[in-house]
Amino acid sequence: MIGDIVIIIRDNWLLLLIGQYPNGPLGGLAATLILSVLSIALAFPVAMLIALARLSKSPFLLWPSTVLVYVARGVPLLMLIFWVYFVVPLIIGTRIPGFVTMLVTLVLYEGAFLSEIIRAGIVALGRGQMEAARSLGHSYMGAMAWVILPQALYNMIPSILSQFVSTIKDTTLGYVINVADLTFAANQVNNQLLTQPFQVFFILALIYFVICWSLTRAAIYLERRISNKRSGRGGQVPPAMSAQALTAEP
């Protein structure tokens, strides 16, 4: 079976890597990575804005942001993708490429979920930090930028990371609207071979696993670096907090 996998990769590596480019759109792993990076990079600032809007007292900010979060939470991502794919062209009168559809949907959907994580991080800090910053004369946004968010985002790194990983995995749903990503390419390979679905999809799973695992490692590295800096330890790397550290038993 390993032999089969090696042969499949040898015969199809270019298709899996870049799709049918330059004879078609850039696809394969390249498309998946670009879609993932763009989704995360855009969803994160969007999530911050939604989180701040959800914490705002102004109904003009509070209401739309709350509706967005509730819709994103209440509707399956697949339905949302179909909506954007079929309904948005009707509204704006022109077709939009699947890649853009997928990007916009992911940014809104993942942004809504991320915003709740960020909001939770902010609320969990309690009032004291905001009061201290305001009593020194910081504006609300100044206090957010220099005092609240640096703490809230750091505390939420594990949850934020999970959401980033989800985002990467959710790019596979682009398959249903013919976005030529890695999943799409793997399916093309499978359709050619017909007899080796297990091997083909094993390759696919492995690649996704490696991408998400790398991201996890990067996040752990980042978390440790920040916690080192904040505990004044400089370059020294402490062991990751073990489960034991959280229990009362020795």
How far, in whole angstroms, is CA 247 from its chain's centroid?
Answer: 31
Give the pair of three-digit tokens for residue 138.
């910081």
How far apart (Å, rounded) are the C-alpha atoms in residues 81 and 96?
13
Site track for another protein across 216-235, x = CB under 8 A: --------------xxx---
User: In the bound complex, what is the minimum distance in angstroms from residue 121's beta carbon to another protein?
Assistant: 13
The count of chain residues that interact with another protein, using the rule CB under 8 A, is 21
Cα distances (Å, whole numbers) of residue 236 to 151, 230, 239, 248:
21, 12, 10, 27
Beta-bridge partner residues of 19 = 26
Stretch of 33-41, 81-89, 149-157, 182-190 contacting another protein, by CB under 8 A = 149-157
Phi-psi region of 21 (alpha: psi -120 to 50; beta: other; left: phi over 0): beta
**Would you count residue 124 as binding another protein (CB under 8 A)?**
no
Q: Helix, strand or coil for residue 57?
A: coil
- The correct pick among 24, 45, 64, 150 for binding another protein (CB under 8 A) is 150
How far apart (Å, rounded) are the C-alpha atoms in residues 56 and 58?
5
For residues 11 and 131, which CB has a smaller minimum distance to another protein in the complex?
A: 131
**Would you count residue 250 as binding another protein (CB under 8 A)?**
no
**Would you count residue 166 as binding another protein (CB under 8 A)?**
no
User: In the bound complex, what is the minimum distance in angstroms from residue 249's beta carbon to another protein?
Assistant: 24
User: In the bound complex, what is the minimum distance in angstroms from residue 140's beta carbon to another protein?
Assistant: 8
How far apart (Å, rounded) are the C-alpha atoms in residues 143 and 147?
5
**Would you count residue 20 as binding another protein (CB under 8 A)?**
no
Give the pair of three-digit tokens for residue 32.
């998946």
How far, in whole angstroms, is CA 204 from its chain's centroid?
Answer: 19
**Would you count residue 151 as binding another protein (CB under 8 A)?**
yes
Stretch of 1-9, 55-63, 128-136, 236-244 contacting another protein, by CB under 8 A = 128-136
Sites of contact with another protein (CB under 8 A): 128-129, 131-140, 142, 146-147, 150-151, 154, 230-232
